[in-house]
Amino acid sequence: MDRLAPVGLPAARPLVLRGKRFDAAAPAVMAIVNRTPDSFFSGNRHADLESAKSALARAVELGADLVDVGGVRAGQEGEVVDADEETRRVVPFLEWAREAYPDVLLSLDTWRSEVAREAEGVVDLVNDTWAGHDRDLVHVASAIGAGYVISHTGGLPPRTDPVDVTYGDDPLDVVRDVVRTLARGAHEAERAGIPRERILVDPTLDFGKTTAHSLEVLRHTADVVALNYPVLQAMSRKDFVGEALDLPAEERLEGSLAATAVAAWLGATVFRAHDVRATRRVVDMVATIRGDRPQQVALRGVRSGTAHEPAPGAATNGA
């Protein structure tokens, strides 16, 4: 064999927020700070302000590039939270975070335009996890100069858990629906005035999906990448991991990291995670295996006594 064919891998599309670029060589880790007492994962309940501040500080220390702040539990369980209460939970905290960590990118996890409007000047990204349920939200994100996350929920309204969800007889029908929905939402965001490099598309595993659906969509991450927008994968400790391994949320770290590695290999750019350090190391390692990110030192097999500097262009944000 005279020549080996190069490995054909989908290239992660770049995300650019406030002058910072994330791509195949520099994937982004999005930490999660839930200003709620009822998050599905007990390790991320930060209703107490000091707890939330400590969580953000720790996330930054461990290598987070973005911090996603939410004030309402995604599922239908838990307390009812109106827009005023959601604003009270998240906006003052985001204002503090912007002042305390001016270089950290901040994301607001909300489906309500009135909450996003109150966060003008302090958020870089609006993470609309309920697929444009509030039709004004994308326009508010554009007006306040924020990026925007397009999600897929199978048409379900906010805080609705999937029951008897079907997409057709072909297992790939869910993938087709995800790709169509994300493409349509991304085009609407562009028409609203949001630049392409500030639009993230998120297949939104678990939302409006059974575990079989989520696993199928994860296998087809490359088809989402082919839409030519940066891809966000939010998989951390979710139910599809738990059902795949028959484990509770507190024991889903390894499964989440395996899913993260697959999504990174297939071209995702941003990874929303509860476990920042572990996720940081996984995505950096996958980027290096892919050949997008240089190794950080060269010692093995090198003559003793030789100075060993990081490779030119080596990333320095690994934890």
Say which CATH topology domain 16-290 has. Answer: TIM Barrel (3.20.20)
The DSSP code for 277 is H
Q: pLDDT class for 317, splitting at 50, 70, 90?
A: very low
pTM over 0.95: no
* pLDDT over threshold 80, residue 315: no
Q: Please report where in the chains the tokens 């190794």 appear, as a residue.
A: 295
- Kindly report the number of other CB atoms within 10 A of residue 69's CB atom: 28
Q: Are 24 and 281 in contact (CB under 8 A)?
A: no
Pairing of β 147-150 and β 105-109: unpaired
- Give the pLDDT mean for 75-95: 88
Give the separation between CA 242 and CA 127, rounded to whole angstroms: 24
Q: Are 143 and 163 in contact (CB under 8 A)?
A: no
Q: pLDDT class for 7, splitting at 50, 70, 90?
A: confident
Q: Please report where in the chains the tokens 């996958």 appear, as a residue.
A: 286
Q: pLDDT digits over 274-298, tens only?
A: 999 999 999 999 999 999 999 999 9
Q: Are 253 and 246 in contact (CB under 8 A)?
A: no
- Give the pLDDT mean for 156-171: 90
Give the separation between CA 28 and CA 25, rounded to whole angstroms: 10
Residue 133 Cα distances to 102, 137, 152, 154, angstroms = 31, 8, 11, 12
Which tops the pLDDT comparison, 263 or 299? 263
**Residue-range domain boundaries for the chain:** 16-290
- Give the pLDDT mean for 98-110: 96
* pLDDT over threshold 70, residue 314: no
* pLDDT over threshold 80, residue 44: no
Query: DSSP states of 140-207 as a string?
Result: HHHHTT-EEEE---TTPPTT----S----SSTTHHHHHHHHHHHHHHHHHHHTT--GGGEEE---TTT
